[in-house]
Amino acid sequence: MPGYCYILVSLALFFIGTAGVLLRRNALFVLMSLELQLAAGSLALLTFSRGLGDEKGHVVAFFVMALAAAEAAVGLAIVVSVYRTRRKIDLDAINELRN
């Protein structure tokens, strides 16, 4: 399979992720969509790394994974504590900093 197919997949993942982040109401889904975006980035990195024969891209992809794990941990912790205080995790409802 030619390399641009992987890039197309990466692009598709990224846009699906972006749409999820921008449009979903539920904080959990937003976090999941964020993971999709990160995965898209990793895939693009790996593709180019392979295509160019440069190992640096692999290394960065590992960093992204580690970062994604940390982000998920912190993000979920926040979501849980938001849920504890207000019994819902709709992003529409969390707008105390409005105006």
Partner 1 sequence: MFSRLFMIPLLPLLGAAYLMLFGRRHSRAVVQTLASLTVFASFVIAADAFFFALPKVVHQGGISELVYTWFSAGTVDVDLALRMDALSGLLCLVVTFIGALIHVYSAGYMAHEHDYPRFFAYLNLFCGAMLTLVLGDSLPVVFIGWEGVGLASYLLIGFWYKETANASAGKKAFITNRIGDFGFLLGTFLIFRATGTLDIPAILDSARTGHALAAPLWLGQPVAFWAGLFFFVGAAGKSAQIPLYVWLPDAMAGPTPVSALIHAATMVTAGVYLVARMSAVYMVAPAALAVVAIVGAVTALFAALIGFAQNDFKKVLAYSTVSQLGFMFVGVGTGNFAGGIFHLFTHAFFKAGLFLCAGSVMHAMSGSGDITQMGGLAKRLPWTTRVFQICWLAICGVPVFSGFFSKDAILGGAFATEVYGHGLAWVGPLVGVLLGLAALGTAFYMSRLYFLVFTGPCRASDEVKHHIHESPVSMVFPLVVLAAGAALSGFVGVPPALRELVGKHGESTLSVWLEPAVGAPLEISHAIEWAGMGVSTLIALSGIGLAYVFFGGGYRAPAHAFVHALPRFVALVRDKFRVDELYAFLFIRPLASLCRVTFQYVDRILIDKILIGGWAFLADLGGRICRFVQVGDVQRYLAVFVIGLTALVWIAARPTAPGEVEVVVENHTARITLLDTPSSPDKLTYSFDFDGDGIPDRASATPTATWVYSGPGHYTASVFIEDARWHTRRTFKQDIDIR
Q: Two tokens at 21?
A: 């982040």
18 lies in the site for partner 1, by CB under 8 A: yes
Q: Would you say 39 and 54 are in contact if contact means Cβ atoms under 8 Å apart?
A: no
Give 24: exposed, middle or buried? Use CB within 10 Å, 0-12, 13-18, 19+: middle
Q: Note the Cα 10 to chain centre separation in Å.
A: 12
In the bound complex, what is the minimum distance in angstroms from residue 29's beta carbon to partner 1? Answer: 11
16 lies in the site for partner 1, by CB under 8 A: no
94 lies in the site for partner 1, by CB under 8 A: yes
1 lies in the site for partner 1, by CB under 8 A: no
Q: Which residues bind to partner 1, rule: CB under 8 A? A: 18, 21-23, 30, 91-92, 94-99
